[in-house]
Structure 1
Amino acid sequence: MIEILATLSASAAAGMRIGIPLLIIGLLQGSNLWSQVPILSHISPPILLGCLTSWSLIELLVSKKLWGQRLLQLIELFMSPLVGAIMGLGVATATATPNWLIAIIGGLLALVLQLVQVGWFYRLRGLPLWAVFLQDTLCIALVLFAFDAPWQGGVIALILLWFAVRSAKQWYGWYNKGKRRRA
């Protein structure tokens, strides 16, 4: 059960940012940079470290501007399921759950959270700066929780999933209200 919660925590982090969680998961492994992470273990660690560091800096700096948020969301929307699956598989090492199921759950959770971000971005016409800082902080915290406190990280991931469902319900209500006004 703890492995599943750790997977949810890591995948939720990938649903917010894609470079930062991968960079942190590699650095937390010490001298074995990404050796336990599927797909990434086949890439040279210095090249991967350079690419992920660069992308993480881009995510941190560019996400503070409206045009940067729009650009990042386009890229992250397509990459988040893959990164969510990689993060889930990288965290869940000793579980009886099949790897394909962990990859699907991790990828779908990351995609759902990314879709919610895109929805709020367009609903609010850009995310406020405080929300972007909260997003960055929560992303880093979820990765750290996946390793050190998987129960708490999994609970936070489930709360984020609940928030996603509530957001979808609220958007549907706004859509119906606008539809009734036009009719």
Structure 2
Amino acid sequence: MIDILATLSASAAAGIRIGIPLLIIGLLHGGQLWSKVPLLAHISPSVLLGFFSIWSLLELFASKKRLGQRVLQIFELLLSPIVGAIMGLAVSSTTSAPNWLMACIGGLLALVFQLVQVGWFYRLRGLPLWAVFLQDFLCVVLVLFAFNAPWPGGLITFVLLWFAIHSAKQWYDWYWQYRRQRSKARS
């Protein structure tokens, strides 16, 4: 159970940001954790450290502007399932569950969180600065909790998942309200 909560926490962090979680797990374990992950094991740890550092800085600075958010979301939407699966595999190395299952859970959770971010970005026409700082904070906290305190990390992940479900219901209601208004306007 602890490994599943840790996997959820790490994958949720990958659903918020991509480079920061990968950089943090590399720094926490001296790059040795990357050597246990199937996709990252074939790349030199120094190359990974450099790439994830640059990508993390790009995420931190570009996410503060609306155009930067839009550009980042394209890459993050495409790469979040892969990074979520990588994070799930990296954290759940000791679980008895099959690796493919943990990778699928991690990838899907990261994709759901990324879709929620994209939805709110388009609904609000850009994320406010306080929300971007909250995303950065949550990303770091979730990665640290995945390794040091899986219970709080899992709890935060479930709260975020509840928020994602609630957001989807709100968007559904807004959509139907908009359609009703348009049909009344045509009549």
Counterparts in 2 of 1:135-150, with a 5 A limit? 135-150=135-150
Q: Which moved more, 1:116-125 or 1:21-30?
A: 21-30
Query: Is 2:39 the partner of 1:39?
Result: yes
The structural deviation recorded for 1:177 is 0.6
Measured in 1, the distance between the counterparts of 2:33 and 2:86 equals 14
The structural deviation recorded for 1:32 is 2.5
The structural deviation recorded for 1:20 is 0.3
The structural deviation recorded for 1:57 is 0.3
Measured in 2, the distance between the counterparts of 1:37 and 1:93 equals 9
Measured in 1, the distance between the counterparts of 2:13 and 2:53 equals 16
Q: Is the 8 A contact 2:36 2:90 kept in 1?
A: yes
Distance 1:130-1:118 versus aligned 2 partners, 3 A rule: same
Structure 1 runs of 4+ with >3 Å offset: none
Structure 1: gaps of 5 or more residues:
none
Which amino acid counterpart does residue 179 of structure 2 have in structure 1?
K
Query: Is 2:65 the partner of 1:65?
Result: yes
Counterparts in 2 of 1:106-145, with a 5 A limit? 106-145=106-145
Distance 1:72-1:168 versus aligned 2 partners, 3 A rule: same
Measured in 1, the distance between the counterparts of 2:98 and 2:4 equals 11
| Paired positions, count | 183
Q: Is the 8 A contact 1:60 1:136 kept in 2?
A: yes
The structural deviation recorded for 1:31 is 5.8
Which amino acid counterpart does residue 70 of structure 1 have in structure 2?
R
**Secondary structure of the structure 2 residue equivalent to 1:97:** coil
Measured in 1, the distance between the counterparts of 2:83 and 2:31 equals 22
Measured in 2, the distance between the counterparts of 1:37 and 1:23 equals 14
Query: Whose radius of gyration is greater, 1 or 2?
Result: 2
**Secondary structure of the structure 1 residue equivalent to 2:35:** coil
- Identity, % of aligned pairs? 72
Q: Is the 8 A contact 2:7 2:106 kept in 1?
A: yes
Aligned Cα root-mean-square deviation (Å): 0.9
Distance 1:33-1:102 versus aligned 2 partners, 3 A rule: closer
Measured in 2, the distance between the counterparts of 1:33 and 1:178 equals 49
**Secondary structure of the structure 2 residue equivalent to 1:42:** coil
Q: Is the 8 A contact 1:7 1:91 kept in 2?
A: yes
